[in-house]
Amino acid sequence: MLGRRLRRLRESAGLTLRGLAEQVDYPHTYISRVERGEQLPSAALATALDTHFGTDGLFAELLEMAQDASIPDWARVILGNEEKATRIQIFASSLIPGLLQTEEYSHALFRASLPGASEEKLSERVETRMRRKRVLNKDNPPFYWAIMDEAALKRPIGGSKCMRDQIAYMLEVSASAHITIQVLPFARGEHPMLGGSLSLLTLPKGTSIGYVESFASGEAVDSQPRIVELTQRFDIARSMALPEQESVDLIHAYLREHADEDDS
C-alpha cells in the first residue's frame, strides 16, 4: 500500500524516480525498491516524503502499520498495549530488555537471531524496536520496572564497545523517576525465571496482561489465574534481585569492565 501510494503521488507530480530522488536527497534505487514493495522506507525517508508531497504524516503512518504487521501474532497483543499501559514490569533472563536497548545492541541481536536476513530487513526490525521506546518518553509515561539477570550485563553482545555504550545508555535512562532497574546477581543461584523472559502490563482500568517469551516463540496471557502465577514469579525474582542502588553500582562495575576490554 505504501509503495503504491508513493508511485501514484510521484507520477501525478510528473516526476521520474531520479527526479524524486534528487528532490528528497535519497538514492533512486532505494526509492524504487520502496515503490515495488521490496523494502520499507526508513522513518527519515517517510518523513521526507510526507514533507515533499504535503501528505500530513501519511507515509509515517503507513510505515508504522507495515512495521507492526511484521511482528509475530503472539507478540502483537503485548506490543499493541504498551502505549496504553500505566505500568510495565519486565524480567529478562539473558538480554537487556527491548525498551532499554540501543540501536547498535538491537542490531547485533537481530543479526544473530535472523541468520541470512538482509541488512534492509535487520534495519526494519531495529527501527520498529526503537520506535517502541517512545512510550517511555511521552508526557505521562508508564512506571517501568525492569529486572535482568546478571548474564545480560556480562555477555558482550556486539562486542565490548557496543556493550559499553549500551550500559552507559541504560544508566542514563535509569535516572528517570518513572524507571527502576534491578539486577539479579549470579550469587543468588537458581530462580523461577531462568531460561525465559516475562512482561506484565497493567492497563488503565487495572487489568493486567502478560507475555512469556522463550527462544523464537512467545505466549500472550490474559487468564487471571495465570497472571497471578506470573506475578508471583516476578515478585520472587524482584525479592532476590539487588536493591536499586546496589544494582546501579553493579551496572557501573560492568561498564568499567567492558571499557577495560575495549581498551585492551
Task: Indicate which CATH number applies to the domain containing 98.
Answer: 3.30.870
Write the single-letter amino acid at 218: G
Q: Are residues 16 and 98 in the same domain?
A: no
| Number of domains into which the chain is organized | 2
Written as nine digits, the cell of 127 is 527501527
Residue 263's pLDDT is what?
65
Contact 237, 247 (CB under 8 A): no
Q: Are residues 18 and 98 in the same domain?
A: no
Q: Are residues 79 and 94 in the same domain?
A: yes
Residue 72's pLDDT is what?
66
Three-point CA angle 144, 109, 235, nearest 5°: 30
Q: Cα-flanking dihedrals φ and ψ of residue 224, to 5°? A: -60, -45
Q: What is the CATH number of the domain that holds 9?
A: 1.10.260.40
Domain boundary among 69, 93, 113: 69
Q: Are residues 125 and 181 in the same domain?
A: yes
Q: Which residues of the chain have pLDDT under 50?
A: none
Q: What secondary structure does DSSP assign to the chain, as a single string? A: -HHHHHHHHHHHTT--HHHHHHHHTS-HHHHHHHHTTSSPPPHHHHHHHHHHHT-TTHHHHHHHHHHHHTS-HHHHHHHTTTTT-SEEEEEESSS--GGG--HHHHHHHHHHHSTT--HHHHHHHHHHHHHHGGGGTSSSPPEEEEEEETHHHHS-TT-HHHHHHHHHHHHHHTTSTTEEEEEE-GGG---TTTT-EEEEEE-TTS-EEEEEEETTEEEEE--HHHHHHHHHHHHHHHHHSPPHHHHHHHHHHHHHHHHHHHH-
Domain boundary among 24, 52, 69: 69
Domain boundary among 69, 95, 123: 69
Q: Are residues 112 and 44 in the same domain?
A: no
Residue 75's pLDDT is what?
64
Q: Are residues 9 and 118 in the same domain?
A: no
Written as nine digits, the cell of 199 is 512482561
* pTM for the full predicted model: 0.77
Contact 34, 3 (CB under 8 A): yes
Rounded to an integer, what distance in angstroms lies between the CA atom of residue 41 and that of residue 162?
25
Q: Are residues 134 and 246 in the same domain?
A: yes
Write the single-letter amino acid at 245: Q
Residue 12 structural domain: 2-69
Residue 215's pLDDT is what?
61
Q: Are residues 147 and 121 in the same domain?
A: yes
Q: Are residues 224 and 179 in the same domain?
A: yes
Q: Are residues 90 and 62 in the same domain?
A: no
Q: What secondary structure does DSSP assign to 195-214, as a single string? A: T-EEEEEE-TTS-EEEEEEE
Nearest to 109 by CA among 30, 194, 185, 213: 213
Written as nine digits, the cell of 250 is 553493579
Residue 115's pLDDT is what?
85
Q: Are residues 10 and 109 in the same domain?
A: no
Rounded to an integer, what distance in angstroms lies between the CA atom of residue 103 and that of residue 39?
19
